[in-house]
Structure 1
Amino acid sequence: MSDLIEIVIEDIKRSQVLDVLTKLTEGAGGAQKIWSSDEDFALDSSIGASIQDLSNFIDQADDAVLYFSFESLTLGEVRLQQVLLRLVKYSEKFDIDFSFDEASVSDWQMSMLMVKVQKFIAMLVSGANVGDWFGGIEPASDEDTRYFTQDASGPLL
């Protein structure tokens, strides 16, 4: 049985969340579905989100979650399959996390893949005002099952 791998970027400032999200999803292929936890928030389309949709979500008053399901997500040299991404809005801060099944990247040794993902995320958040960022076996909040925490290797590397 394979594990789900989770990557988390926490405490992204409102002024930078759209930039971080669009850079992260530049390599997304085949948005299968996008939906929100907020029943009052409506997207123009259930299969694609425009910049205006994302701006409206960011600017809404309520805390909520926007979910994205992608056929693939390319992070530098790494192509992940069947990725679920969440944009979590709370107060004036945001978290972005995404997960994928380790079995979907069987062409890679997991430690090598996670080193490349770590480098990509480091480049992505460079210059952005974010809190913590890390990756590991879901839930990645468990420090014992992390591949990395920011620039440091975790117990699984």
Structure 2
Amino acid sequence: MSSEPEAVADLLRSQGQMSFVEPTTDALIEAFESEHDRQLPSQLKRWLLVSDGGDFFLPAGFQLRGIEHLPLIDVDDPDRPDDSYIVIGTLSSGDPVLCEESSERISIYNHEVGRIEDDETFADFFTFLTSLAEVVGIGDDDVE
């Protein structure tokens, strides 16, 4: 699987109904990072240049936040295990999807058990997106 955001977007579209939004710009991403003194993962930044947020696997799946389009990434969102994480989206279960400060890693915070499970941690944003069908419970049998 190519790691290019357009190829990932095409894969997702082939798996289910998506609602991507207008892209943002490099300048707005840089301004966001500067204003909040936080670095977003590089692959997330590349994705935001394709779609600044959006809804994946409608009607229920995953909602990604953007930096320009609502809902916005809130670096102080309390729905995270500690301040070293940024909530970048929410699964339909209500569990937040997080990026770690100074890392490419993406994780799901499992509210029910109050921790991040090893099998809900992804090496990077594109790995998370390409695994999203499985994460939201759409098995291979459902994907044609």
Bigger proportion of residues as strand: 1
Give your verdict on TM over 0.5: no
Higher relative CO (Cα under 8 Å, sequence separation at least 6) belongs to 1
Length-normalised TM-score, structure 1: 0.25
Higher-Rg structure is 1
TM-score, L = length of structure 2? 0.26
